[in-house]
Amino acid sequence: MNQIKAYGSHSATEELKPLEISRREVLPKDVQIEILYCGVCHSDIHTARSEWGPAKYPVVPGHEIVGRVTAIGSEVQNFKEGDLVGVGCIVDSCRTCPSCGEGLEQYCENGMTGTYNSPDRISGGHTLGGYSEQIVVDEQYVLRIPTNLDISKVAPLLCAGITTWSPLMHWKVKKGHKVGIIGLGGLGHMGIKFARALGAQVVMITTSPEKGKDAKLLGADEVLLSTDAEMMKAHANSFDFLLNTIPVGHQVNPYIQLLKRDKTMVMVGAIEPIDPLHSGLLVTKRRNIAGSLIGGIKETQEMLDFCGEHNILPEVEMINIQNINEAWDRVVKADIKYRFVIDMQSLKD
């Protein structure tokens, strides 16, 4: 075992503070990664505070990890020391079920191993995430970062990025489609960038004229204020796809009415009950509501490569690890455009 520095917490109520944790030795198929940057995701907070059920403590959050390979196991084939790599939300899965076989490890039928707070298939303990100096991950779950990208901004692609990319791919969004992005935060802002790069006509759907302005700066072609009944009516039955990134329960019926026949609204933010859905709105135009969870490893690599080709990066605000508690307060208040990234060099201070 390998003792390293990290930031984490020992209970649902305490603030994050420096911890010492241990990582496994490098196994034959493992890649050891010095963590350079780690994104801050709202899931980190929900988990550490046991808001999604009781967490296993200590919790060391962080599943948007960018770093450099410092050692490899004897059987590693795809990475070498010095490579720039990423780790997202998944560090292992059963590797035998149909979903794993299809490269959809996020839907592993035996349960994917999350990057933190998951039962660890190898150590038997629970996983500890990227708010730390180093991580050791089986090479099959390690991503390659295109070297032309500004690596200080890449980290959020590994959760916010893939979570919005995967449904755009699965529902085959393409040039000419009218795509609505509902909600502008870490996920929504990536949705705008991706949909635009794919050639879609991108409409930001928001309650806030202020966010509408920001969305245009990010690449939205148009803004639809969901509070404006006239505008909503004018856009009824006109969307080919809706990506709903609102992170909490809400009234979905007004959005469903925006969809053309046979089209889909995908939920990627809320993972809780949503207000009563009017079934008639689905029936009368054969509309669909679906959900989508992050994305598989292969798809995540494809997204990173696409970002390399199109120079797509999240908008980030860099912090030192010592400011993490303040940053979390701001995430809870949605006071961030659009993602915090921790400069993990600060952990050495």
Rule CB under 8 A: choose which of 113, 132, 164, 264 binds its own copies: 264
Nearest partner of 159 among 216, 70, 91, judged by Cα: 91
**148 or 237: CB nearest its own copies:** 237
- Which stretch in 3-11, 67-75, 144-152, 259-267 sits in contact with its own copies by CB under 8 A? 259-267
- Nearer of residues 154 and 289 to its own copies, judged by Cβ: 289
What gap in Å lies between CA 263 and CA 259, rounded to an integer? 6
DSSP state of 237: T
Q: Measured on CA atoms in the order 136, 142, 146, 150, is the torsion positive or negative?
A: negative
The whole-angstrom separation of Cα 143 and Cα 33 is 11
CB of 183 to its own copies, least distance (A): 13
The owner of tokens 């120079």 is 311
For tokens 């305490």, name the residue: 14
Site string for its own copies, 289-328 (x = CB under 8 A): xxxxx-----------------------------------
Examine residue 236 and tell whether it contacts its own copies (CB under 8 A).
no
Asked whether position 169 contacts its own copies by CB under 8 A, the answer is no
Exactly one of 77, 276, 348, 349 binds its own copies (CB under 8 A); that residue is 276
Please report whether residue 268 would count as binding its own copies according to CB under 8 A.
yes
What's the burial of 231, exposed, middle or buried (CB within 10 Å: 0-12/13-18/19+)? middle
The 3-state DSSP class for residue 24 equals: coil
Residue 54 binds its own copies, judged by CB under 8 A: no
In this structure, which amino acid lies at residue 173?
V
Q: Which of 53, 82, 261, 333 binds its own copies (CB under 8 A)?
A: 261
Task: Tell me if 270 contacts its own copies by CB under 8 A.
Answer: yes
Nearer to its own copies (CB atom), residue 209 or residue 249:
249
Q: Is the separation of the CB atoms in 61 and 44 below 8 Å?
A: yes
In terms of residues, how long is the chain? 349
Binding interface with its own copies (CB under 8 A)? 99, 104, 107, 109, 170, 237, 249, 261, 264, 267-268, 270-293
